[in-house]
């Protein structure tokens, strides 16, 4: 039977409706491109499949940056948040990070409504099965049911679905997450196009029924007294607030884990994928930190209208009976009912060094990858990549120059540079420590750093620009109209920004001077066809890595592991000669 051709041709096809896919599709559509969002299930658009929260250290800064550029994640968090907290309040502004726990159903429903109401965007339920490539030209995607969707560019945002395999004890079943089906066709298509495809792993904790928890034995934790919005465009949070609760593991918990390691897919060798070192399973915590007498757990509600509670800190893939024993060993959870067991999930990913710093494939022009397919983890990292991939796909369609953010401009720039230049050997997570210029990349000033770029891209309504510019001028001391309408900004925020900038100025100036010094090398472009193999003065390791990664600038070349300062000097000379 011949394939069916979908009647509409698209500028941008986004495959996958998670956090990366939503931002990619909205960005492309808002830039005026005819956009298709193709997803296996329209009811799980922007699903919070694991932790019911947005933000955190480093992550919160990225969410504010996505918002400043015109993305949607911060607004979605504000619509659905019931517990807001500024982390690291005892430390300096540079590492203070917003975090919000959200009603998972409300977050998902809000994002679905935004997608469905967006002009130029068609959401369709179907499964992408194969990339449609003719010769060396990308034509679109072929679906599992035999429909050909034609598009000038394609953005893959497949999350943990590529050949997903869930583990509970020594039992496995094919799954994208929870009870959802995996995506089975795209990995083979990528391999056929020459992509190096590997395996990674992530995990989730059990969920508990609130009615079965004895909260009198737990420590109550409340959010900030006055919740602060994530989005620069929101003045306040009026949602009803809920508390979280703190519990602790104990010797019995740890003994139960050790007794069941033989049935753990992590320790039996059944799982091959690499997991996140910074977010270990409870098994890893007990095995790798044997002297620690207890580990902290957070019981986080999953929403206003559900009784399910997320047991943050107890990610596990032990058998179901062992999970019940673990939970019941904890004071307050002796009679807790597990509504959902924890599980680990393995999935395919593509090493991101196969991409340019616009997230476009080097091998297949017009193909962009964003989110966990690039070896990252977390909703926030996915959303940031999705936004940038969607923007660059939209720009490519119009033959406009690419959109890039430098490491000195945004955490988003740090992340993309880390991925494209250094690659990943474990699921990548953003931390403030990854940014050399973190004094300048604060959560409080993301709008001042990036919002003009959002306006220029057409991702933010132009009517807000006049008020933003007035606010910016007042912060910089160039404005003289304190009684003018600044909403959603305010004079209180102007004064706060002036105070922060004043206290940080000596340190930021020093940081800025260093950034300018480094930018001299950053801006020196390497000829795209430079023959590294012919440069005998380079080390063998440098020749091999530079030939494979093809860095765009000397600055990127300097961040390739194994490339020495002496190699850079040699490369600079040969770049000049080649020009």
Q: What is the pLDDT along the chain (579 residues), one digit of tens a residue?
A: 468 999 999 999 999 999 999 999 999 999 999 999 999 999 999 999 999 999 999 999 999 999 999 999 999 999 999 999 999 988 888 888 999 999 999 999 999 999 999 999 999 999 999 999 998 899 999 999 999 999 999 999 999 999 999 999 989 999 988 778 898 899 999 999 999 999 999 889 999 999 999 999 999 999 999 999 999 999 999 999 999 999 999 999 999 999 999 998 888 777 777 777 767 899 999 998 899 999 999 999 999 999 999 999 999 999 999 999 999 999 999 999 999 999 999 999 999 999 999 999 999 999 999 999 999 999 999 999 999 999 999 999 999 999 999 988 999 999 999 999 889 988 999 988 888 888 889 999 999 999 999 999 999 999 899 999 999 999 988 766 666 778 899 999 999 999 998 888 888 888 777 777 666 767 788 998 899 988 888 877 788 889 888 888 888 888 887 787 678 778 888 888 876
The β-bridge relationship of strands 338-340 and 308-312 is unpaired
Taking the C-alpha atoms of residue 115 and residue 119, their distance in angstroms, rounded to an integer, is 9
| CA 347-81-412 angle, 5° bins | 50
Contact between 3 and 148 under an 8 Å Cβ cutoff? The reply is: yes
DSSP structure class, residue 212: G
Q: Quick check: 9 and 151 in contact, CB under 8 A? A: yes
Distance CA 71, CA 54 (A): 14
The Cα angle at residue 28 between residues 22 and 31, in degrees rounded to 5: 135
- Token pair listed for 340: 């959902």
How many C-beta atoms lie closer than 10 Å to residue 329's C-beta? Answer: 18
Structural domain spans, the chain:
4-202+347-434, 207-343, 461-514, 524-574
Q: Taking a C-beta distance cutoff of 8 angstroms, is the pair 67, 75 a contact?
A: yes
β-strands 97-102, 53-55 pairing = antiparallel
Q: Which of 526, 555, 536, 532 is nearest to 545 (CA)?
A: 532
pTM of the complete model:
0.91
In whole angstroms, give the CA distance from residue 332 to residue 336. Answer: 8
Q: Is domain 4-202+347-434 classified as CATH 3.40.50.300?
A: no
Tracing tokens 């964003």 back to the chain, one arrives at 370
Q: Nearest 5°: CA angle at 278, between 108 and 106?
A: 10
Token pair of 336 as six digits: 């807790």
Cα–Cα distances (Å) from 73 to 123, 230, 380, in that order, read: 18, 9, 8
Query: Which listed CATH number (3.40.50.2000, 3.40.50.2300, 3.10.270.10, 1.10.150.570) goes with 524-574?
Result: 1.10.150.570
Q: Which residues contact 469 (CB under 8 A, 6 or more apart)?
A: none
CB 523 within 8 A of CB 575: no
Residue 177 contacts residue 162 (beta carbons within 8 Å): no
**Measured between alpha carbons, how far is residue 63 from residues 59, 72, 288, 329, 513 in Å?**
6, 9, 32, 37, 27
Total number of residues shown for the chain: 579
Q: What's the 3-state SS for 117-138? A: HCCCEEEEECCEEEEEEECCEE
β-pair partners for 121? 35
The span from the CA of 4 to the CA of 274, in Å, is: 39
Asked if CATH classification 3.40.50.1220 holds for the domain at 207-343, the reply, yes or no, is no
Q: How far is CA 61 from CA 80, 101, 240, in A?
A: 19, 16, 24
Considering only the C-alpha atoms of the chain, give the largest distance between any 2 of them, rounded to a whole number of Å.
74
pLDDT value of residue 554: 86
Q: Determine the Cα–Cα distance for residues 384 and 388; give it in Å rounded to an integer.
A: 6
CB of 325 within 8 A of CB of 253?
no
Residue 282 in tokens: 């409870």
pLDDT score for 1: 47
Q: Which two tokens stand for residue 390?
A: 């969607």
Three-state DSSP class for residue 90: coil
**Smallest Cα–Cα separation from 88: which of 131, 48, 57, 64?**
57
Point out which residues pair with 349 in neighbouring strands.
198
Distance of alpha carbon 291 from alpha carbon 93, whole angstroms: 34
What is the C-alpha to C-alpha distance for residues 318 and 261, in angstroms, rounded to an integer? 8
């Amino acid at each position: 039977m011949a394939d069916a051709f979908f009647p509409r041709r698209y500028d941008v096809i986004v495959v996958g409706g998670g956090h990366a896919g939503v931002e990619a599709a909205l960005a492309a559509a808002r830039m005026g491109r005819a956009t298709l969002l193709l997803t296996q299930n329209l009811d799980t658009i922007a699903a919070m499949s694991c932790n019911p929260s947005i933000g955190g250290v480093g992550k919160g800064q990225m969410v504010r940056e996505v918002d400043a550029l015109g993305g949607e994640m911060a607004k979605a968090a504000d619509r659905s948040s019931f517990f807001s907290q500024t982390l690291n309040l005892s430390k300096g502004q540079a590492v203070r990070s917003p975090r919000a726990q959200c009603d998972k159903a409300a977050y998902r429903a809000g994002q679905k409504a935004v997608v469905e109401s967006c002009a130029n965007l068609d959401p369709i339920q179907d499964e992408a099965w194969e990339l449609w490539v003719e010769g060396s030209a990308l034509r679109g995607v072929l679906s599992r049911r035999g429909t050909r969707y034609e598009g000038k560019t394609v953005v893959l945002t497949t999350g943990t679905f590529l050949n997903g395999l869930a583990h509970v004890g020594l039992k496995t079943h094919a799954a994208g997450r929870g009870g959802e089906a995996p995506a089975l066709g795209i990995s083979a298509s990528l391999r056929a196009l020459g992509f190096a495809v590997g395996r990674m792993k992530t995990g989730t904790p059990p969920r508990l029924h609130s009615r079965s928890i004895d909260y009198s034995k737990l420590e109550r934790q409340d959010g900030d007294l006055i919740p602060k919005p994530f989005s620069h465009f929101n003045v306040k949070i009026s949602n009803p607030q809920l508390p979280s609760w703190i519990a602790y593991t104990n010797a019995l918990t740890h003994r139960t884990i050790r007794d069941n390691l033989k049935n753990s897919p992590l320790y039996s060798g059944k799982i091959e994928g690499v997991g996140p070192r910074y977010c270990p399973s409870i098994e890893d915590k007990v095995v790798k930190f044997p002297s620690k007498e207890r580990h902290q757990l957070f019981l986080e509600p999953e929403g206003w209208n559900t009784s399910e509670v997320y047991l943050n800190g107890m990610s596990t893939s032990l058998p179901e009976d062992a999970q019940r024993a673990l939970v019941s060993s904890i004071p307050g959870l002796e009679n807790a009912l597990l509504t959902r067991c924890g599980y680990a999930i393995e999935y395919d990913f593509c090493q991101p060094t196969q991409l340019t710093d616009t997230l476009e494939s080097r091998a297949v022009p017009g193909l962009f990858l964003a989110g966990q397919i690039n070896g990252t983890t977390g909703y926030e990292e996915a959303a940031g990549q999705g936004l940038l991939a969607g923007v660059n796909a939209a720009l490519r369609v119009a033959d406009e120059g690419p959109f890039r953010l430098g490491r000195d401009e945004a955490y988003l720039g740090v992340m993309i540079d880390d991925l494209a230049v250094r690659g990943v050997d474990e699921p990548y997570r953003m931390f403030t420590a990854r940014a050399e210029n973190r004094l300048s990349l604060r959560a409080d000033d993301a709008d001042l750093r990036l919002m003009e770029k959002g306006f220029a891209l057409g991702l933010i309504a132009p009517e807000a620009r006049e008020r933003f510019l007035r606010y910016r001028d007042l912060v910089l001391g160039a404005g003289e109209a304190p009684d003018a309408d600044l909403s959603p900004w305010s004079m209180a925020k102007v004064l706060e920004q002036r105070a922060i900038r004043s206290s940080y100025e000596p340190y930021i100036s020093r940081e800025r001077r260093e950034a300018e010094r480094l930018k001299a090398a950053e801006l020196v472009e390497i000829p795209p066809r430079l023959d590294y193999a012919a440069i005998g003065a380079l080390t063998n390791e440098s020749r091999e890595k530079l030939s494979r990664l093809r860095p765009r600038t000397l600055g990127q070349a300097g961040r390739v592991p194994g490339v020495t300062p002496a190699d850079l000097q040699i490369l600079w000379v040969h770049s000049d000669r080649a020009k």
